[in-house]
């Protein structure tokens, strides 16, 4: 069996459906904007797979895919789809950290008396850290369980006959 790219991408897009900046592009139709959003999501998908394979040794090869037909050559479980879309969300939030660093540059000291971006920045960073922490737990849970049965993996020690 196989898993189309669109399955984890749609799970990710549902997660960020309220993020207007991700879906709005000047002078483009909603359909064109959605296509660009899907292309961006493909980049997050590849990054999420990279993070997953760096953090654990999955039981399947997530790099076994065909970019032309946009399918993964293995059948993903619901847990894997959720995990990858959660990692994609983390990659998406990671891009906004660079924007936060530039935020102070855009405000003059008189602007900062009216609007202080530090509260928004700290709230975002708390949310980002929370997402990273939850993803870390998801990665631990995934790496310690059989992907099909969900049973905990055990350590198999060789038996020695003495």
The model's pLDDT over 30-59, given as tens digits with 9 standing for 90+, comes to 999 999 999 999 999 999 999 999 999 999
pTM, entire model? 0.86
Contact 7, 76 (CB under 8 A): yes
13: left (phi over 0), alpha (psi -120 to 50) or beta: alpha
| Overall domain count for the chain | 1
In a domain? residue 149: no
pLDDT at 154: 76
Give 55-66 pLDDT, tens digit per residue. Answer: 999 999 999 999
- The domain in which residue 89 lies consists of 3-143
In a domain? residue 162: no
């Amino acid at each position: 069996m196989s898993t189309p790219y669109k399955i984890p991408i749609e799970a990710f897009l549902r997660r960020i459906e309220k993020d207007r900046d991700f879906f709005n592009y000047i002078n483009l139709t909603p359909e064109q904007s959605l296509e660009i959003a899907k292309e961006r999501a493909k980049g997050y998908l590849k990054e999420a797979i990279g993070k997953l394979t760096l953090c654990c040794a999955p039981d399947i090869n997530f790099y076994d895919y065909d970019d032309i037909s946009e399918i993964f050559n293995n059948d993903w479980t619901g847990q894997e789809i959720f995990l990858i879309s959660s990692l994609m969300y983390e990659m998406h939030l990671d891009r906004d950290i660079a924007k936060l660093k530039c935020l102070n540059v855009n405000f003059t000291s008189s602007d900062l008396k009216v609007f202080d971006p530090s509260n928004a920045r700290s709230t975002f960073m708390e949310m980002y850290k929370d997402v990273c922490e939850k993803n870390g737990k998801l990665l631990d849970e995934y790496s310690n369980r059989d992907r099909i049965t969900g049973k905990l993996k055990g350590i198999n020690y060789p038996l020695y006959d003495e």
